[in-house]
Chain A
Amino acid sequence: MTSLSDHAGFLPLAQLPSLVAQLMAHGYQCLGPALENDAIVMRELATADSLPRGLQAEQAPGRYRLTQDPQQRYFAWANGPQAIKPQAFAPQESLWRVERDAAGALTFAAVLPAVRPQAIIGVRACDLAALALQDAHFMRAGRRDAQYAQRREQLFLVAVQCAEPAATCFCASTGDGPTPTAGYDISLAELADGFITVAGSAKGAAVLQALALAPATPQQIETARQQGEAAAAAQTRTLPSHTLRDSLMSQLEHPRWDEVAARCLACGNCTAVCPTCFCHAELDEPALDGLSSEHGRIWDSCFGESHGHLHGFNVRPDIRSRYRQWLTHKLATWHDQFGRSGCVGCGRCIAWCPVGIDLTAEVAALTASEVPS
């Protein structure tokens, strides 16, 4: 299960910039954590040594504050407001364009994003699990999304083990973290004096090979393993380990839906920060001269009125039905669609809900007992 394999190397702390430099030398635009607007966001690293140190993210329902890590680690910040979803599934983009010539004939052309190879440093195990689900949706056989695929195939992922989960994290209970096990090119585990490195792909192995690292010692590997276990044990929130499909779908008339609807703003922030949510709306933007039009898509949310709008009526006219749709899709019917739950335990929907609705608490309330009939 653990990714800390026999082939693990050790990257001394002072040499972290050489890993970034190596990625840059391989032609990757490097994205890493950056402090912006009071949160950790992924931004292009100007130089190989510009990764910030000593940041921690204190999170609670509806609350996110950056604090200082006394140990001055690079990756003690758990997670930020977005996983790597925007890097593959763009928040707004053009899909195709149509032009009308002088004779009135229409010409359609696909619009593909101009992308360059991009390395993302600091990807979490939950982010990787979520990306695998996005892949399953956007790149499924026979229905491959051209724009998503183009971005996705350019990504080089440097994952990190979570040693400091936030209070909102529950990846251990969903089985998706805190130690990355698959889906990365390189995985790092941060120790006091450096990083255990593991290659997860041929691309990753090539980058690590160029660094000519010494092998990690069994003690270092054991320290990282224990660190992962401690991080899992430190998580205070959980989702039930059993499949929630039947227990949630049998509670569709539970009074809790009304109770949560009274608190829910239907702002859709939970869906936007959720690394597995993939809903989008499509719209057309005709040019003012009437000679061309762009057909684009934008992130959409099942919490919006227009999302449930069908001709002549709305299938989800109120907040109750929208919250219920989101939770039952994510945790119940997702199993039918993708063979697993749509929740990877990142806790973003809890921290970034402006009124602090806690999905784990809602599930607990909904499944605690049968509705009295």
Chain B
Amino acid sequence: MNASTIKPRVAVHKFSSCDGCQLALLNLGEDLLTLAERVELVHFAEAGPLNPDTDVDIAFVEGSVSTPEDLERIQHVRAHSRMLIAIGACATSGGIQGLRNNADGAQWIAQIYSHPEAIASLQHSTPIARHVKVDFELWGCPVNSRQMLAVVNALLLGVAPRDNADKVCTECKRHGYPCVMVTRGIPCMGPVTRAGCGALCPGLGRDCYGCYGPAESANTDALAAQFAHLGLTPQAVAQRFQSINSQAPVFLAAAGKARTIRDE
């Protein structure tokens, strides 16, 4: 058996999403060529190869389950993949489109589209793991190339990818960025948000808005209390948790709690 015959077969599938996470692969530049030598990219619509029905070793799945068609297709993808990796906020929490889960989606559609009957969407936008077994989740909106490479590398070496659930603060401090909550009193989500972005927003002097989803041991009660102390209304506190990853259980509960305070 020569090297070329044992290349893992890889597919990249898109569900309900903006395609931004696939760019983490496309933006690899030269590394993409190196990657192409180590794996066989059998399906990656955005890059060219089309073969959605073939069996693969690794399937990267971007997007949430948001339409009746998504519901069926995710079962098909799972059945044909040895490992399934969910990438990005849509695939791991339901994404920004998950905001409709707490609203009257049909009414929204009626307000926006001239032919609402042409829209086929489920009442809820849900993460991939709600429907099929997911072998690894990579959080982020969008995920970045460094994260993607680390996952691919780990799988090629036959080890479990490193699941970094530490807070954004850990990256912020390693970069030497002064804490924006402390210097400017702005409501940063970094202390409850998963690392991985390299503290992009605090590095630019603004507050993290939680696009990498909840970190481990996220003390949302303590952060919500501090947001209130900094002058945020209960509604504003709820909105901090209701963004890209509004349906991640930890953020959903925090927003619900803040709204309860408002209603009291």
Say whether A265 contacts B156, CB under 8 Å.
no
Among B57-65, B92-100, B119-127, B221-229, the stretch in contact with A: B221-229
Say whether B178 contacts A64, CB under 8 Å.
yes
Over the window 100-140 of chain B, the binary record of Cβ atoms lying under 8 Å from chain A Cβ atoms (1 yes, 0 no) is: 00000000000000000000000000000000000000000
Q: Which residues of B contact A353 (CB under 8 A)?
A: 182
Q: Is B76 an interface residue (CB 8 A)?
A: no
The answer to whether residues A288 and B183 also contact, given A268-B167, A299-B174, A305-B165 and a CB cut-off of 8 A, is no
Q: Is B46 an interface residue (CB 8 A)?
A: no
Q: Is A13 an interface residue (CB 8 A)?
A: no
Q: Is A351 an interface residue (CB 8 A)?
A: yes
Q: Is B166 an interface residue (CB 8 A)?
A: yes
When the two chains form the complex, which single residue of B149, B167, B183, B205 contacts A267, counting CB atoms closer than 8 Å? B167
Say whether A354 contacts B170, CB under 8 Å.
no
Q: Which residues of A contact B175 (CB under 8 A)?
A: 91
Over the window 196-231 of chain B, the binary record of Cβ atoms lying under 8 Å from chain A Cβ atoms (1 yes, 0 no) is: 000000000100000000001101011101100000
How many cross-chain pairs have Cβ atoms below 8 Å apart between A and B? 125
Say whether B150 contacts A81, CB under 8 Å.
no
For the complex, give the distance between the alpha carbons of A263 and B31 in Å.
44
Among B10-18, B184-192, B234-242, the stretch in contact with A: B184-192
Q: Is B176 an interface residue (CB 8 A)?
A: yes
Q: Which of A41, A80, A262, A304 has the most CB of B within 10 A?
A: A304
The answer to whether residues A289 and B181 also contact, given A265-B223, A268-B173 and a CB cut-off of 8 A, is no
Chain A residues 277-306 with CB under 8 Å of chain B are 283, 285-286, 288-290, 298-301, 304-306
Tally chain A residues at the interface, Cβ within 8 Å. Answer: 46
Say whether A64 contacts B183, CB under 8 Å.
yes
The answer to whether residues A290 and B38 also contact, given A64-B182, A266-B217 and a CB cut-off of 8 A, is yes
When the two chains form the complex, which single residue of A82, A300, A318 contacts B176, counting CB atoms closer than 8 Å? A82
When the two chains form the complex, which single residue of B38, B176, B185, B221 contacts A86, counting CB atoms closer than 8 Å? B176
Q: Which residues of B contact A285 (CB under 8 A)?
A: 150
For the complex, give the distance between the alpha carbons of A355 and B181 in Å.
9
The answer to whether residues A304 and B166 also contact, given A82-B176, A355-B226 and a CB cut-off of 8 A, is yes
Q: Which residues of B contact A63 (CB under 8 A)?
A: 182, 185
Q: Which residues of A contact B67 (CB under 8 A)?
A: none
Say whether B34 contacts A288, CB under 8 Å.
yes
Chain B residues 44-74 with CB under 8 Å of chain A are none
For the complex, give the distance between the alpha carbons of A304 and B166 in Å.
6
For the complex, give the distance between the alpha carbons of A41 and B205 in Å.
14
Q: Which residues of A contact B205 (CB under 8 A)?
A: 37-38
Q: Which residues of A contact B183 (CB under 8 A)?
A: 37-39, 64-65
For the complex, give the distance between the alpha carbons of A339 and B2 in Å.
61
Say whether A91 contacts B226, CB under 8 Å.
no
Over the window 141-168 of chain B, the binary record of Cβ atoms lying under 8 Å from chain A Cβ atoms (1 yes, 0 no) is: 0000000011011001100001001110
Q: Is A92 an interface residue (CB 8 A)?
A: yes
Q: Is A62 an interface residue (CB 8 A)?
A: yes
Q: Which residues of A contact B166 (CB under 8 A)?
A: 268, 304-306
Over the window 41-80 of chain A, the binary record of Cβ atoms lying under 8 Å from chain B Cβ atoms (1 yes, 0 no) is: 1000000000000000000001111000000000000001
Q: Is A319 an interface residue (CB 8 A)?
A: yes
B157 closest partner in A (C-beta)? A286
Say whether B222 contacts A288, CB under 8 Å.
no
Q: Which residues of A contact B173 (CB under 8 A)?
A: 91, 268-269, 272-273, 299
Q: Which residues of B contact A301 (CB under 8 A)?
A: 170
Say whether A288 contacts B191, CB under 8 Å.
no
A-B contacts besides A263-B222, A267-B167, A269-B173, 20 pairs, CB < 8 Å: A37-B178, A37-B205, A63-B185, A80-B178, A81-B179, A91-B175, A262-B219, A263-B225, A264-B219, A265-B223, A268-B166, A269-B179, A285-B150, A288-B34, A300-B170, A304-B167, A306-B166, A353-B182, A354-B179, A354-B188
Task: For the complex of A and B, list the 6 residue pairs with the smallest distance between their C-beta atoms, beginning with the closest.
Answer: A272-B173, A39-B178, A91-B174, A38-B183, A267-B169, A265-B191
Binding site for A on B (CB under 8 A): 31, 34-35, 37-38, 149-150, 152-153, 156-157, 162, 165-167, 169-170, 173-185, 188, 190-192, 205, 216-217, 219, 221-223, 225-226
Can you name 10 A-B residue pairings with CB atoms under 8 Å? Answer: A37-B180, A63-B185, A262-B221, A263-B222, A266-B219, A298-B174, A304-B166, A305-B166, A354-B169, A354-B181
